[in-house]
């Protein structure tokens, strides 16, 4: 800190969080489109077969670690604590805190990776398995991507969202280039091609971390590496994130168990264990709107809620949270209805070629419908959980989430053994998400001790009405296309017609009802009515 100057007060971004939401959503859209291209390439060269299923299971461990230790618990803990540290001690001390957290995270995850790699090597030597081999290759990605995600969280805490939102593009580009390059130039197929993909994933992790580090340097926020603990406030970060780690670990463990149940209990008509591949294709489709807007909204609103929580302004915090929920439902409700209605032609248009067959489309679209039923709840949960974090309460969400995870596992096991098969796992996820939303909302309403939110109820009614008009239009188009032979055989044209008309009707309905969230997202005010 410069001599004679006081601590630097954290600067809550002057632009409203809606501006940051639009920025993150736009950049995330680019990333998700690349992710969609990646899945199209995967479907073309691997289909939904056993090699793809093995990769999906192997990638679960580093990917879930990223969600727990990187952009999940650690980022959620860093945002409010870095904000408070900047307020009380200045930017320099905040950089030292961030450096200590990153150093300890890297050391711990590297040690875990080394131990697990030894165990996997022994297991693979005893009983060779594609899942074990690919997991060995991908596990070091956990260290790289968690460090990159934590660095992105520091940028988010200081109101910088663009670079972290673009980081996943690097992963998708690397996978696409490795898959297409290995197949076309190297003539590789099957496990040989998948090994090249795994190496590309590791390279992308190093590049992602390097990009975030450069961004921190340019922003003057470069962490100062050290192993300080109590004197740097690392103990406070760990104490705050420990319950979140337990909760997120439970959620990600549930996801891992879903994949394990899918690969163990789901067999298609050809005797292939396709469950994890089917679930992953469906998950990436329903997570497109969730990632583009739901997580973008929660990421953008969290620093503002954290600042209001630090200032003990619960009324303003409640108002901000309400706005976040209104915007989340405005996007999630029509997105859920749309995915349910266009699921089959959408999957056909995107994936059905070469190794990806018609029966794969039926399975993936069925899982997508079940996942989509919970889309509004997935959106809301991201906002509600962050409201608890802004209040300094990381334990309540853990208790609620932990209970829902147990229900999800039991319900998933019961449904996967039914004729639903992998669709049962997706349906269990949706049901558990809605139960979690109800419990989180009820508890938060009691904590904030505020009267019922009339704005939220009114907004939900308008959103439901506009979405119903959209769904009716899409259903009519679908029926008409089914009756025309060439349209029934042209899923790309059919999907484009359904999505275009549905979006147009939803926009028209929002304008007709003067829906506030529609104009808020556009950043404009509705025109005054005449007379």
DSSP code, position 528 = P
Closest CA relative to residue 178, chosen from 16, 55, 27: 55
Spatial separation of the C-alpha atoms in residues 97 and 228, rounded to whole Å:
8
pLDDT attached to residue 392:
80
DSSP, residue by residue, 368-429: HHHHHTTHHHHHHHHHHHHHHHHTT--HHHHHHHHHHHHHHHHHHHHHHTSTTTHHHHHHHH
Residue 231 scores a pLDDT above 70: no
Name 530's Cβ contacts closer than 8 Å, sequence gap at least 6. Answer: none
* Contacts of residue 238, Cβ cutoff 8 Å, sequence gap at least 6: none
Reported as a pLDDT band with limits 50, 70 and 90, residue 14 is very low
- Per-residue pLDDT tens over the stretch 202-218: 999 999 999 888 888 88
Range 6-45 burial, b when 16+ CB lie within 10 A, else e = ebbebebbeeebbebbbbbbebbbebbebbbebbbbbbbb
| pLDDT value for 249 | 57
Residue of 379, 506, 385, 469 whose CA lies nearest to 430: 379
CB 303: neighbour CB atoms within 10 A?
25
Output the CA angle 452-455-459, nearest 5 degrees.
Answer: 125
Residue 377 has a pLDDT of 92
User: 208 CB contacts (<8 Å, ≥6 apart)?
Assistant: 144, 145, 148, 167, 168, 170, 171
Say whether pLDDT at 19 is over 70: no
| Rounded Cα gap, residues 168 and 112, in angstroms | 24
What pLDDT score does 153 carry?
76
Q: What are phi and psi of 218, to 5 degrees?
A: -65, -30
Residue 67: pLDDT band by 50, 70, 90 thresholds? Answer: low
The sign of the CA dihedral 142, 145, 147, 149 is negative
Indicate the pLDDT class of residue 247, thresholds 50, 70 and 90.
Answer: low
Q: Residue 198 has what pLDDT?
A: 95
Q: Is pLDDT larger for residue 169 or for residue 489?
A: 169
Q: Give percent of the chain with pLDDT exceeding 70.
A: 84
The mean per-residue pLDDT over the stretch 338-363 comes to 90
pLDDT at 16 over 60: no
526 pLDDT band, cuts 50/70/90, is: low
Under the banding of pLDDT at 50, 70 and 90, the label for residue 387 is: confident
Asked if residue 13 has pLDDT above 60, the reply is no
Q: Quick one: pLDDT at residue 64?
A: 73
- More confidently predicted of 20 and 185: 185
Residues 422 and 267: their CA atoms lie apart, in Å, by 10
Residues 12-18 have a mean pLDDT of: 50
Q: Give residue for tokens 């004679």.
A: 4
Indicate whether 400 pLDDT > 60: yes
* Residue 144 burial (C-beta neighbours within 10 Å; 0-12, 13-18, 19+): buried
Neighbours of 384 (CB within 10 A): 24
Question: What average pLDDT does the segment 33-49 reach?
Answer: 89
How many residues are listed for the chain in this entry? Answer: 531
Q: Tell me the pLDDT tens digit for each residue of 298-327.
A: 777 777 887 788 778 888 888 888 888 998
The helices-and-strands tally (H runs, E runs) of the chain is: 20, 0
> Which tokens belong to 248?
């997120």
Confidence class for position 530, pLDDT limits 50, 70, 90: low
The per-residue pLDDT for 520 is 80
Note the pLDDT of residue 527. Answer: 62
Which pLDDT value is given to residue 347? 93
pLDDT tens column, 93-145: 878 888 888 888 889 889 999 999 999 999 988 988 888 999 999 999 989 98
506 compared with 226, residue with greater pLDDT: 506
CA distances from 121 to 24, 135, 255 (A): 40, 10, 24
- The encoded tokens of residue 271 equal 């005797």
Contact 178, 195 (CB under 8 A): no
**What confidence score (pLDDT) does residue 10 get?**
39
**Where does the pLDDT of residue 4 fall: very low under 50, low under 70, confident under 90, or very high at 90 and above?**
very low
Rounded-to-integer distance, Cα 95 and Cα 485, Å: 63
Quick one: average pLDDT of 376-380?
91
Helix (H) / strand (E) element for 179: namely helix 162-184
Among 125-139, 226-240, 415-429, which is the least confidently predicted range? 226-240
User: Rounded to 5 degrees, what are φ and ψ at 9?
Assistant: -80, 135
Give me the pLDDT at residue 68, please. 66
272 vs 123 pLDDT, higher one: 123
| Between 531 and 91, residue with greater pLDDT | 91
If phi over 0 gives left and psi between -120 and 50 gives alpha, with beta otherwise, what is residue 418?
beta
* Mean pLDDT, rounded, for 347-369: 89
Rounded Cα distance between 139 and 332, Å, is 33
Of 348-352, 395-399, 457-461, the one with minimum mean pLDDT is: 395-399
Q: What is the mean pLDDT of residues 260-287?
A: 80
Cα 20 → chain centroid: 17
Q: How far apart, in whole angstroms, are the C-alpha atoms of residue 323 and residue 383?
A: 10
Q: What is the pLDDT of residues 146-189, one digit of tens each?
A: 888 888 877 876 667 677 777 788 999 999 999 999 999 988 98
Q: Hey, how many other C-beta atoms are within 10 angstroms of the C-beta on 390?
A: 26
Per-residue pLDDT, 8: 40
More confident residue, 432 or 523: 432
* DSSP-derived 3-state class of residue 471: helix
Torsion of CA 373, 378, 380, 383, to 10 degrees: -170
């Amino acid at each position: 800190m410069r001599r004679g100057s006081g601590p630097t007060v954290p600067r809550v971004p002057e632009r409203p969080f809606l501006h940051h939401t639009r920025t993150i959503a736009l950049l995330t859209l680019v990333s998700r489109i690349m992710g969609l291209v990646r899945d199209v390439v995967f479907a073309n060269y691997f289909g939904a077969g056993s090699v793809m299923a093995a990769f999906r299971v192997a990638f679960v461990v580093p990917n879930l670690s990223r969600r727990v230790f990187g952009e999940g618990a650690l980022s959620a803990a860093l945002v409010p604590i870095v904000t408070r540290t900047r307020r009380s001690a200045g930017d320099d001390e905040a950089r030292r805190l961030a450096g200590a957290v990153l150093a300890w995270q890297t050391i711990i995850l590297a040690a875990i990776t080394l131990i697990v790699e030894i165990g996997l090597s022994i297991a693979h030597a005893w009983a060779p398995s594609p899942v074990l081999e690919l997991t060995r290759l991908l596990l070091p990605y956990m260290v790289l991507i968690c460090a990159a995600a934590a660095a992105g969280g520091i940028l988010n805490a200081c109101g910088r969202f663009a670079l972290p939102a673009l980081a996943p593009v690097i992963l998708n580009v690397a996978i696409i280039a490795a898959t297409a390059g290995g197949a076309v130039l190297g003539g590789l197929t099957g496990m040989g091609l998948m090994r090249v993909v795994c190496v590309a994933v590791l390279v992308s992790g190093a590049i992602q971390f390097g990009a975030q580090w450069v961004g921190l340097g340019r922003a003057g926020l470069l962490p100062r590496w050290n192993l300080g603990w109590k004197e740097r406030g690392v103990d406070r970060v760990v104490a705050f994130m420990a319950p979140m780690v337990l909760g997120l670990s439970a959620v990600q463990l549930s996801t891992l168990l879903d994949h394990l149940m899918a690969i163990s209990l789901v067999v298609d008509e050809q005797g292939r264990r396709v469950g994890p591949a089917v679930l992953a294709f469906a998950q990436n489709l329903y997570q497109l709107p969730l990632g583009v807007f739901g997580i973008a909204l929660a990421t953008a609103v969290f620093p503002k809620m954290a600042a209001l929580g630090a200032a003990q302004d619960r009324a303003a915090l409640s108002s901000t949270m309400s706005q976040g929920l209104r915007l989340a439902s405005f996007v999630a409700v029509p997105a859920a209805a749309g995915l349910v209605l266009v699921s089959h032609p959408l999957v056909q248009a995107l994936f059905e070629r070469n190794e990806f067959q018609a029966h794969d489309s039926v399975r993936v679209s069925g899982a997508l419908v079940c996942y989509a039923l919970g889309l509004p709840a997935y959106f809301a949960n991201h906002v509600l959980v962050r409201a608890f974090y802004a209040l300094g309460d990381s334990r309540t969400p853990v208790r609620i989430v932990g209970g829902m995870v147990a229900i999800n596992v039991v319900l998933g096991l019961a449904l996967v053994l039914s004729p639903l098969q992998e669709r049962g796992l997706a349906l269990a996820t949706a049901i558990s998400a809605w139960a979690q939303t109800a419990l989180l909302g009820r508890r938060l309403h009691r904590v904030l001790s505020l009267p019922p939110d009339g704005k939220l109820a009114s907004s939900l009614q308008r959103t439901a009405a506009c979405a119903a008009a959209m769904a009716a239009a899409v259903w009519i188009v679908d029926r008409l296309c089914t009756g025309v032979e060439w349209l029934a055989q042209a899923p790309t044209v059919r999907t484009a017609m359904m999505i275009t008309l549905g979006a147009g009707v939803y926009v028209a309905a929002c304008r007709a009802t003067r829906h506030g969230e529609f104009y808020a997202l556009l950043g404009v005010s509705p025109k005054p009515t005449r007379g």
